[in-house]
Structure 1
Amino acid sequence: MSGKFIVVEGLEGAGKSSVIALVEQAVKSKGFTTVTTREPGGTPMAEAIRNCVKQNWQENVVEETELMLMYAARAQLLANVIKPAMDAGSWVIGDRHDLSSQAYQGGGREIAQATLSALSDITLKGFKPDLTLYLDVEPAVGLERARGRGELDRIELAGLGFFERTRARYLQLAAADSSIITIDAMQPMADVHRDVQRTLEQYLSC
């Protein structure tokens, strides 16, 4: 029996790392093996692309360049890690997936949907997560949390307006897709975990 693909999404500072650990624990408690991935990254080549995307270059990084790098890394991860793990029966828990590109590059960078759809069709061929947990946080709060972790990378320095557009697209996409569950990440972390746990219990009992 093939495994499932659960993704955790959200802006910087939304609390994805602790929620991913919670999801992994819940899935393992049901007797399934898990593989955890991150995007961009997750394979040697995809990690090299991640470094390329994140660093501050002494030149203008064209928005379409950023987008294509994201999908190149995603294609490598899907072919080399996600699909093989699922075929072997493992549940894959993803730190970001295609929804991030739809929100960050589509909403934040305002790249045309036709461009996003074309790249998604080429690389994913209709593949999508079984369940996505979107951790919703106000951009100003999330960025303040991210600053507390250390120096911000190139994308994290894009500005408040960028992240407000990104959040708006996240919310729009989540409202249109029943497989995306929105979790209020403005709550104390204990309450976030409670809501995530309830969602997982419902999903894992089906």
Structure 2
Amino acid sequence: MGYLNSYKKGKFITLEGIEGAGKTTQLAVVRRCLEEQGIAVLTTREPGGSPVGERIRTMLLDPGCKGMVAATEVLLLFAARAEHLAHKIRPALEQGTWVLCDRFTDATYAYQGGGRGVDPERIAMLEAYVQGSMRPDLTLLFDLPVASGLARVGKRSAPDRFESEAEGFFEGVRTRYLAIARSHPQRVRLIDAGLPVEQVSAQVRKQVAGFLARVGR
């Protein structure tokens, strides 16, 4: 069935990247591009996206949970993802609504795999169990140097549990993200997030237009 998941009525687009990559800003750009074409859109996020998922998110981001082991972190992420898929993502797609999600399973491979050192085969087992054949149709990966991203984050509010990690952690995350992009070039489209925001938005609009042309919209 390929990356376009033709068995679904709606399409599933995810945005990925390290801290400070500007995903939240560009999510709004993607939404506008789709709505201009008359497409119904639902925006959501991970971890979270459902009542139970949001409670799990609070725990995962809480700096007070700093000692959480990697296995617990991965299992909590997939528990939240199972709820998210069941109560929000799948119902929307089946109704023909397109779903835009700030992070999805690529983030688990990057953060827990590349950052924490969790065996990717273990992540793949949970991915198959929780998602079945469900995969994003398009992923926009916002890439920039780790130091630049962390500098942006430093200008925001107090850091959460992940934002408090050392630079080496995020280097591992970025490396794994780029490896994912190389392995899945049809699905994952790289965006240079180090450019001024207007130029980043232009890249996003170009990639979304290309995707719409491929799916016949």
- Assess same fold via TM > 0.5: yes
Corresponding residue for 1:42?
Answer: 49
TM superposition score normalised by structure 1: 0.97
Compute the RMSD of aligned alpha carbons. Answer: 1.1
Share of identical aligned residues, percent? 39
SS of corresponding position for 1:106: helix
Q: How does 1:118-133 map to 2 (within 5 A)?
A: 118-133=125-140
Corresponding residue for 2:116?
Answer: 109
Corresponding residue for 1:79?
Answer: 86
For residue 60 of structure 1, report the CA deviation from its aligned partner.
Answer: 1.7
Deviations for 1:131-173, whole angstroms, at most 9, x for unmatched residues? 0000001111101101111111011111100000000000001
Q: How does 1:136-155 map to 2 (within 5 A)?
A: 136-155=143-162
Structure 1 residue 194 and structure 2 residue 211: aligned?
no
Q: Which amino acid aligns with 1:181?
A: R
TM superposition score normalised by structure 2: 0.93
Moved over 2 A (4+): none
Corresponding residue for 1:63?
Answer: 70
For residue 126 of structure 1, report the CA deviation from its aligned partner.
Answer: 2.1
For residue 59 of structure 1, report the CA deviation from its aligned partner.
Answer: 6.2
Return the match for 2:22 from 15, 18, 22. Answer: 15
Deviations for 1:162-193, whole angstroms, at most 9, x for unmatched residues? 00000000000111102000001011111111
C-alpha contact 2:66 2:161 (8 A) present in aligned 1: no
Length, aligned pairs only: 206
Return the match for 1:169 from 153, 171, 176. Answer: 176
Deviations for 1:27-66, whole angstroms, at most 9, x for unmatched residues? 1111111100100001110000000100022662111101
C-alpha contact 2:19 2:149 (8 A) present in aligned 1: yes
In the alignment, the residues of structure 2 paired with residue 58 and residue 6 of structure 1 have an alpha-carbon distance, to the nearest angstrom, of: 30
In the alignment, the residues of structure 1 paired with residue 120 and residue 47 of structure 2 have an alpha-carbon distance, to the nearest angstrom, of: 20
Corresponding residue for 2:167?
Answer: 160
Q: Which amino acid aligns with 2:199?
A: D
Task: Give the unaligned 5+ runs of structure 2.
Answer: 1-7
C-alpha contact 2:16 2:106 (8 A) present in aligned 1: yes
C-alpha contact 2:65 2:161 (8 A) present in aligned 1: no
The alpha-carbon distance between structure 1 residues 170 and 17, as it changes in their structure 2 partners (threshold 3 A), is: same
C-alpha contact 2:139 2:189 (8 A) present in aligned 1: yes
C-alpha contact 2:46 2:102 (8 A) present in aligned 1: yes
